[in-house]
Amino acid sequence: MSLFETEALILRTYNLAEADKIVVCLSRSAGLIRGVAKNCRKLKNRFGASLEPFTLINLTYFEKENQELVSFSQTEILRSRFNLTSDAAVMTGFSYMGDLLMDFSPPRQANDKLYRMALACFDAVSQTPSDLEWVLRYFEVWLLKLEGFLPDLRACANCGNTFAGEDPLYLGPDLSLRCLKCAQARGRAIPKSVHQQLRTTEKLSPAKFAEEVREVPVATRKELAQLTYQIISRVLERMPRARPTFVQ
């Protein structure tokens, strides 16, 4: 049996037996972990409070060989989100990000970039809840990018020419982007304005991105949301769960 310590973001919990919980979290040094927290529901204790979804904790856990579930032994709250639990939109947004992290991250595989990106997104929304929509778009684009599903945004997958000018790009069924000439109008047209937003995510933090794009027209927001939704659904081969909608 080995003992580990890591920073971790609680994503989801399930009740187990009378007093226990199964906890899923994204940890900095071990990636996605599933573990049992014994007796955390018995009293209104600090152990239980630290396991509320989306809390950032310092986690100490035991791991036994060949066992999928680890055992949580100690936790310490680094950042709680208690002040946001009454904000239904934020909670739906957090659950949505949590679900995607569980869908996309392989268990027990540390990914420091993914961890830092996810944490920055949860923190940006905690700081400015009204930026939720833009932070979710940022999160989706970066999740796809870090997991290797985001098409190359710079050049046509067919001819290799850099995307320039005002022509729309086209997303093919293989999730690659092509220029107007190569696509011959097949696939999903992506207006230049949406391409611009995608490129902007590459350069900024989630908070800065949200600040930069706050005034972007509804049509562009809608197009971008539909595009990320389409790519995610294609990768998962189903629709993502509980995605908050902002624009009808």
When the beta carbons of 98 and 151 are compared against Zn ion, the nearer one is: 151
Tell me: does residue 23 bind Zn ion (CB under 5 A): no
**List 26, 132, 182, 232, residue binding Zn ion (CB under 5 A):** 182
Residues in contact with Zn ion, counted by CB under 5 A, come to a total of: 5
When the beta carbons of 159 and 219 are compared against Zn ion, the nearer one is: 159
Range 99-158, binding Zn ion (CB under 5 A): 156, 158
**List 179, 210, 224, 225, residue binding Zn ion (CB under 5 A):** 179
Side-chain-facing half-sphere of 29: CA atoms under 13 Å: 10
CA distance 101 to 114: 9
Min. distance of Cβ 186 from Zn ion in angstroms?
12
CA distance 15 to 247: 35
Min. distance of Cβ 184 from Zn ion in angstroms?
10
Side-chain-facing half-sphere of 195: CA atoms under 13 Å: 24
* Site track 147-176 with Zn ion (rule: CB under 5 A), x = hit: ---------x-xx-----------------
Phi, psi of 127 (to 5 degrees): -70, -50
CA distance 63 to 136: 33
Q: At what angle do helices 132-146 and 88-104 cross, to 10 degrees?
A: 0
Q: Find the Cα–Cα–Cα–Cα dihedral 110, 54, 91, 128, rounded to 10°.
A: -90
Instruction: From 98-106, 178-186, 206-214, 229-237, give the range in contact with Zn ion by CB under 5 A.
Output: 178-186
Can you give the binding site for Zn ion, defined by CB under 5 A? Answer: 156, 158-159, 179, 182
